[in-house]
Structures are given as C-alpha cells and as structure tokens.
C-alpha cells in the first residue's frame, strides 16, 4: 500500500470518523472503500455511455424486433 495525504475539512473529517467507527474500521479503510466504490461507479457510467452512443449511432429498425414480438404474443383462441 502507498501512503498519501488527503486534505478534508473539519466537518467531512468528523463525518468520516463517525462513519468509520459505525462500520468498525479506521478512516483510511473507509476512504479506500468509498474510493473503490466511486471508481467502480464511474466505470459503470462510462460503459453505459459507450452503450448509449453505440445505440444512438445505429438506431434499431422496427422490423428488427418484430420476430420477437410475434414469438412473445399470446395465441389467439
């Protein structure tokens, strides 16, 4: 592990200490966990944006899905 210095204002520092105590971990572990979760969420958003751009660059045509709609339709009796 690498040691870094992070500057927090007093309110955020106190909130981190309270949250860490509730989670039975130290402040460093809490910050590591929060950063890992944040980076994971950023990656998910990035992938979602790539998907969105891909779908926007090639919009689907109505006939592409008609076969699936027909397969999912209830039989007429």
DSSP per-residue codes, the chain: ---------HHHHHHHHHHHHHTTS-HHHHHHHHHHHHHHHHHHHHHHHHHHHHHHHSPPPHHHHHHHHHHHSPPP-
User: Which of 16, 14, 38 is CA-nearest to residue 25?
Assistant: 16
Which pLDDT value is given to residue 33? 97
pTM: 0.69
- Tell me, what's the pLDDT at 3? 94
Q: In this predicted model, what pLDDT tens digit does every residue of 4-60 receive, in sequence order?
A: 999 999 999 999 999 999 999 999 999 999 999 999 999 999 999 999 999 888 877
Q: Is the pLDDT of residue 66 over 80?
A: no
């Amino acid at each position: 592990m690498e040691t870094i210095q992070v500057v927090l204002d007093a309110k955020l520092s106190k909130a981190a200490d309270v949250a860490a105590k509730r989670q039975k971990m130290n402040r460093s572990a809490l910050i590591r966990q929060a950063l890992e979760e944040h980076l994971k969420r950023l990656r998910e958003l990035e992938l979602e944006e790539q998907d969105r751009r891909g779908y926007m660059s090639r919009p689907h045509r109505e006939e592409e899905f008609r076969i699936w709609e027909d397969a999912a339709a209830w039989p007429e009796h």
